[in-house]
A and B are shown apart, each in its own frame.
Chain A
Amino acid sequence: MKSLRKIASMAVLSTATFAYAGTALAQTELDFWSWRQEDVKAYNEIIAAFEEQNPDIKVTFTAHEATSYNTILTTALAGGAGPDIMHTRSYGSLEAIAAPGYLEPLDGKIDLSALSADELLGTTLRADGHVYAVPFASQTIVVFYNKDLFEQHDVALPETWDEFLAASQKFKDAGVIPLANGLADAWTMEIMSGAFLPNFYGKDFFGEVTSGATDFEDERFVNALEKFAALKDYMPQGYEGVDYATMKQLFSAGQAAMFVGGSFDIPTFVSSGVNFDIMQGPAAEEGGPRMVATWLDGGYGVNAASENKEAALKFIQFTATQPFAQMLTDKLANVPAVDGADISDPMLAKVSDFHAEATPYIMLVAFRFNTPTGSTLLQNGLQELFTGKKTAAEVAADISAGIKSAE
């Protein structure tokens, strides 16, 4: 009996304590969803910095499995639930959640002046022109090269297409795989094309093809595909069956001299210990531009149905500032979308420098809104081109017809 009374008094005491703590802080709690499972620790640190300045807001970061994130998020939003703040994808995938009205329009509510128009394009809904997320980081396509192999075989860094082919030939003759890339994972072919095609089809093509002034049967595009197809002689033996994992293995193990990939591959090669550096794809001819294809990876959006919209917008404003961008690059090795961050990582600084001559990663940026997407068409077209099933002109005609038929 005595112990029962003791328990009861303890219960009363603890309830009172909790009630007191509750009134003292009166926190607004925000849910923040993401697909970046590998970034949980860094995000918690970034959130801690935000909470320090805003003690009345508490943010809980939850990372879902990446490949099913879109499904999890859209299902939650469609059911009237979902987080207050969320990581959104960009372009076509953003449209899938912004168009049905799940996201809060941000222009006018958030100061977006630290972001360039190009970056904002990735989070703007084409239908109404409003911005629905704060862009967070861009990805860039680069050519990775093995410094030791270039030195060992006395190969100069290629700057033009002809030099690139000559260098590849030299490696091939020496028994080194010039390019680690393969066809088996179709998306890696699209990535690879991003390092070569733009420098052949030139600066103006993107604007013209997106405005409808020309189409993908344009001579510049056909010519670019034709040139690009020459690389199949420098890919690994059996490249048709080489998948993403194998490519990275070939490059990490020093069996291949070069690898075309995204800036998102940098951490893999850093941890593998291979002595590498990065360069842009070669210029079509001497003195020509060496553009890198870039795209916006995603952004931070606010749930239109959130009950804590004011606090959520406060956090989103924080993501559009320089201190946030600085943490993003320092802690997550990203090239932040927000201007003004000082990039300390030498590899990232290099990527950022490449952006001086950048071109939109064409299919993802402009042709992933309808079915069939430009990406599907290009990826399968490239598989057909590189297995010799179709010519460059036939592939270009297929892409053009597919894009025109897209609803």
Chain B
Amino acid sequence: MIAASTTMPVVAGLRRLFRNRAILLGAIVLALVVLAAILAPLIAPYAPNKLSIVNKLKGPSLTHLFGTDEFGRDIFSRAIYAGRISLLVSLGVVFISTVLGVIMGVAAGYFRQLDAPISRLLDAMMSFPDILLAIALVAALGPSLATVIIALGITYAPRLARIVRGSTLVLRELPYIEAAVAMGLPTWQVLMRHVLLNLASPILVQATFVFASAMLAEASLSFLGVGVSSDMPTWGTMLASGREFMNNAPWLMIFPGLAIVLSVLSLQLLGDGLRDLVDPRLAKES
């Protein structure tokens, strides 16, 4: 009975969630990409770095679904393994930008004296185009997987901070927060129990969009050769190394590119759908 009463709202919530076609489609595609990445050793027919010079630059066929590269490596297997790193980087970026964004956003939105300095700092940070700021940070910190994650995390933190600040400003004026403060609840408890919990929805929506942007940015950085090491297969490094052979072997560019488009599209669909659920006013418009 207890189990039923706790699972029912979850089931009902999921049903409501998946009634939105955008969320359903986005979730299915994203789940497939994530599953393929997790189960890469089971799904990939070849090891991602297995060389086979006799098979170099072979077009798509039944033995090599997406063809092979200049070293005879299987593009399908590499694309699946590349998904692991691309997803890992993007998840790391979402984590860092969310933590930084929430701290800055709540501080600016809740404490009036901090609002102006933090908001101006966010304005300044957002004046830099994302890729430019990220490559400058990577150049300063030295290129590695970790620095790419940190650089992009810092780059996207202001986007989250802006949203969190706006929502916190509204929340701060609501009667139950005023009541909690009047009851003498310590500030950190007001923030943890009442403010942060109510920020979950806007944070989730914005984090989904940051996830998508991070995936595009990581691909750009890797393509430029200023991101993760070129030995590591990511969709961006695959595009960078395939570019030289693009005229004779276009599949080197097509499949990793499609992997990026599909993953980013699934996240955009998910983000859009979630935003519509959180803000029904927008749902009416789409």
A binds B: no
